[in-house]
Amino acid sequence: MVLLDTNIFVIDRFFPRDTRHIINKEFVARLTELEAGFSIFSLFELCGMASFNLSPNELRRWSYQFDEVYHVQILEPKKLDSSLAISWFGHFTHQVFEMLERKMTWGDAVLLHAAEEHGVEVIVTWNEKHFVGRSQVAVLTPQGYLSNYG
């Protein structure tokens, strides 16, 4: 099996003027001939990056049908063998993918999911702009937090 990096798909979909695009496109076209894998966690990160450029429908297609779009096998963690863990993971993934539709990276979506799920009052981050307008949870920098709650 060949394990693929996110850059293969980023270049394919978003950077047609990249100097590597032609050879990358040729490689992507041959994925139907290969036994190719792509980590579920890489897919999460890729969908987060792509959320800024794809429509919600395109993003959903990538999120849930990526293996059909690109003819790759999505590799999930092997240790998730109990039905409870798989059920939780599926539910969690679905919730975070919905947050990606708010135009956020995977890491930001996971953080916001935790904030909303646990009813936190404020997110403290140096990247305020990543969260403002995407949730009802207040967002402050460490400096802003110290000034307001100090």
11, 21 contact by CB (below 8 A): yes
44, 76 contact by CB (below 8 A): no
Q: 104, 102, 73, 78: which is closest to 89 by C-alpha?
A: 78
pLDDT given at position 13: 92
pLDDT tens string, the chain, 150 residues long: the values are 788 888 889 999 999 999 999 999 988 998 898 888 888 888 988 998 898 899 999 998 988 899 999 999 887 766 655 566 667 778 888 888 888 888 888 888 888 888 888 888 888 888 889 888 999 999 888 888 889 876
What does pTM read for this prediction? 0.66
42, 9 contact by CB (below 8 A): no
